[in-house]
DNA sequence: TGCCAGGCCCTCTTTAGGGCCTT
């Protein structure tokens, strides 16, 4: 189960929990050997106003949030769902800070690292027009599963992108498998040093 | 109601600046 990860995505009222932004929706998909085998998704009511811009961006309205279960219940269920499995998110620094902030409100702490699909994509696809999730989904031929900026659709498409990147690594470097640890280490490799890194990896670890 | 940040990476770099990406 070395390759099993949970791909997560938050929709929020803004860009930073330090500035008062809260989560409005969260989703997680369990990705096992390239297949989504479990899903979790919920809107959540954190008792905050959703700005008009965010309503238009996400389609998540104040009325939808008012009728959603309390954030503390959603986050507790989310924490049970993901357990200790390693996490993946697109632009992980964003989702990580909201995850940590929302968990702290229910007196829980994250127990695993969050790998970043955007950072890996920047290594693997330096010629993509840009590295937004929507652009990479088109560029890599990932199936569009729903509306962008809704948590479950974005988590599923990020999972599809993660799978495609594993496949491209397998093809390009003739590996038998792509351990999650390798995907994490790719994040810290300079973009122009990927080929050298992979050759070194194969020598140390075998194909 | 309207507006907001921060980590990462690249390069014309490292005594820094600016673009990208997330909502």
Cβ count within 10 A of residue A115: 22
Is the CB of A11 less than 7 A from some atom of nucleic acid strand B? yes
Rounded CA gap, A196 and A189, in Å? 10
Contacts of A100 (CB under 8 A, 6+ apart): A109, A110
Work out the mean pLDDT of chain A and round it to a whole number.
94
Rounded CA gap, A186 and A65, in Å? 38
| Sheet with strand A35-43: strands edge to edge | A35-43, A23-32, A5-12, A87-89, A114-116
Closest amino acid to nucleotide B4 (CA–C1'): A19
Has residue A60 got a pLDDT over 80? yes
pLDDT at residue number A55: 96
Is the CB of A98 less than 7 A from some atom of nucleic acid strand B? no
Hey, where are the domains in chain A?
4-205
Please, are residues A202 and A175 in contact by the beta-carbon 8 Å criterion?
Answer: yes
pLDDT digit string, tens, across residues A8-56: 999 999 999 999 999 999 999 999 989 999 999 999 999 999 999 999 9
Strand partners, A114: A87
Has residue A192 got a pLDDT over 90? no
Closest amino acid to nucleotide B22 (CA–C1'): A94
Has residue A157 got a pLDDT over 60? yes
Element (H, E) at A23: strand A23-32
- The catalytic residue among A90, A131, A148, A149 is A148
Instruction: Give distance CA A157 / C1' B19 (Å).
Output: 25
Is the CB of A94 less than 7 A from some atom of nucleic acid strand B? yes
Is the CB of A58 less than 7 A from some atom of nucleic acid strand B? yes
More confident residue, A194 or A162: A162
Indicate the pLDDT class of residue A207, thresholds 50, 70 and 90: low
Which nucleotides on chain B have any atom < 7 A from a protein Cβ?
1-11, 20-23
Instruction: Give distance CA A14 / C1' B3 (Å).
Output: 10
Known catalytic residue at A149: no
A90 exposed, middle or buried (CB, 10 Å; 0-12, 13-18, 19+)?
Answer: buried
Is the CB of A47 less than 7 A from some atom of nucleic acid strand B? no
What the block records as the tokens of A110 is 């994250």
Q: Which nucleotide is nearest to A23 (CA to C1')?
A: B23
Q: Looking at domain A4-205, does it have CATH number 3.30.420.10?
A: yes
More confident residue, A87 or A194: A87
HEC-encoded secondary structure of A36-61: EEEEEEEECECCCCCCHHHHHHHCCC
């Amino acid at each position: 189960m070395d390759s099993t990860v949970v791909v997560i995505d938050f929709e929020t009222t803004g860009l930073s929990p330090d500035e008062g932004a809260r989560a409005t929706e969260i989703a997680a998909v369990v990705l096992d050997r390239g297949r989504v085998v479990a899903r979790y998704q919920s809107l959540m009511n954190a008792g905050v106003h959703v700005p008009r811009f965010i309503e238009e961006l996400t389609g998540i309205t104040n009325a939808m949030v008012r009728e959603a279960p309390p954030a503390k219940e959603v986050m507790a269920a989310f924490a049970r769902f993901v357990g200790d499995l390693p996490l993946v998110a697109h632009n992980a620094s964003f989702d990580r800070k909201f995850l940590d902030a929302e968990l702290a409100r229910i007196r829980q702490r994250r127990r695993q690292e969050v790998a970043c699909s955007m950072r890996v994509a920047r290594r693997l696809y330096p010629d993509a027009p840009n590295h937004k999730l929507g652009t990479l989904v088109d560029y890599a031929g990932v199936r569009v599963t729903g509306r962008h900026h809704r948590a479950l659709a974005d988590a599923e498409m990020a999972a599809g992108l993660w799978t495609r990147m594993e496949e491209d690594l397998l093809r390009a470097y003739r590996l038998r498998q792509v351990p999650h640890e390798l995907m994490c280490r790719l994040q810290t490799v300079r973009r122009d040093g990927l080929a050298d890194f992979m050759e070194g990896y194969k020598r140390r670890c075998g194909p």
